[in-house]
């Protein structure tokens, strides 16, 4: 049974090149039925909708016009990307704001059809430079599980090139969920990340329990990002120059720069 809840577990990162580097962090995320967010945020005195609290959901933290319902914003963006949004339930796996602060490296929208089949997943990716990109993922029909690929378009890590391909794999967010992503270049996998989470019910007691255990989840996430970046830098992993201010449109900028270098070389 898929329903709103708290998902608690681990995030594992593994880098295979140019140096081996791995870590695993404990964390929790919220899984919310997007049509019930205001109602869900009223179930605890510690949670709020569009106003400050220990934990709060703010419409400004996700795609589109925050004045519009989230389903309507998703439909607009799906149409823009040539996707027909299914008519079933949609669940958002995300970090809330904690003590007023939010940073989501990635949020996942699980979009089901009326038969509760996972039809499409939206990965809403953000970097630490103020940029974001949305990857609409449809399952590979040749795969027995939900697997999908996409070209990397947003500059995220200063230690990864932009000309990479993503492969995603998802299980439905039921009692346990796994969300896996790997990057590859010329068929060689250089990095992967895996979320492994187990569901707890969305009620006041469980909300209080996870907030006591993880009182400032999003600040912890941001601190972890910078700590691991420092570790990579200290080990001599080369920094990839960012071509755009916020990392948006980085793949196109990289292609244009590469083409310009090629043309210059041919003219010599």
Provide the number of structural domains found in the chain: 1
Write the burial class of residue 268 (CB in 10 Å: 0-12 exposed, 13-18 middle, 19+ buried): exposed
Query: Model's pTM, two decimal places?
Result: 0.95
**CA 57 – CA 97 distance, rounded (Å):** 6
CA 105 vs. chain centroid, Å, equals: 5
Q: What is the dihedral of CA 20, 29, 147, 65, to 10 degrees?
A: -120
Cβ atoms of residues 159 and 229 within 8 Å: yes
Alpha-carbon separation of residue 113 from 192, 198, 218 (angstroms): 29, 23, 31
pLDDT at 189: 97
Write the burial class of residue 55 (CB in 10 Å: 0-12 exposed, 13-18 middle, 19+ buried): buried
Summarize pLDDT for 77-86 with one digit per residue, the tens: 999 999 999 9
pLDDT for 31 beyond 60: yes
Mean pLDDT, the chain, as a whole number? 95
Summarize pLDDT for 130-187 with one digit per residue, the tens: 999 999 999 988 888 899 999 999 999 999 999 999 999 999 999 999 999 999 999 8
Domain of residue 220 covers: 5-267
pLDDT at 144: 83
If you compute the radius of gyration of the chain from its CA atoms, what whole number of angstroms results?
A: 19
pLDDT at 209: 98
């Amino acid at each position: 049974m898929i329903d709103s809840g708290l998902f608690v577990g681990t995030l594992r990162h593994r880098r295979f090149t140019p140096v081996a580097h791995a870590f695993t962090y404990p964390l929790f995320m919220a899984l919310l039925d997007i049509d019930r967010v205001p109602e869900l945020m009223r179930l605890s005195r510690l949670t709020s909708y569009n106003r400050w609290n220990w934990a709060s959901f703010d419409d400004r933290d996700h795609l589109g016009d925050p004045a519009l319902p989230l389903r309507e914003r998703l439909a607009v963006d799906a149409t823009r990307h040539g996707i027909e949004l299914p008519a079933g339930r949609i669940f958002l796996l995300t970090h809330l704001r904690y003590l007023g602060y939010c940073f989501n490296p990635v949020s996942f929208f699980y979009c089901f059809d009326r038969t509760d089949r996972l039809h499409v997943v939206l990965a809403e990716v953000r970097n630490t430079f103020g940029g974001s990109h949305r990857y609409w993922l449809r399952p590979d029909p040749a795969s027995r599980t939900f697997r999908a690929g996409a070209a990397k378009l947003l500059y995220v890590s200063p230690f990864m090139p932009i000309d990479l391909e993503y492969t995603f794999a998802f299980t439905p967010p039921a009692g346990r969920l796994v969300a896996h992503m790997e990057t590859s270049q010329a068929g060689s996998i250089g990095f992967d990340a895996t979320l492994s989470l187990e569901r707890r019910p969305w009620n006041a007691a469980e909300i209080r329990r996870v907030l006591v255990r993880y009182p400032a989840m999003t600040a912890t996430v941001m601190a972890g990002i910078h700590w691991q970046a420092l570790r990579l830098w200290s080990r001599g992993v080369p920094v990839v120059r960012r071509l755009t201010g916020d990392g948006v449109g980085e793949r196109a900028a990289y292609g244009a720069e590469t083409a310009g270098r090629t043309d210059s070389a041919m003219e010599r």
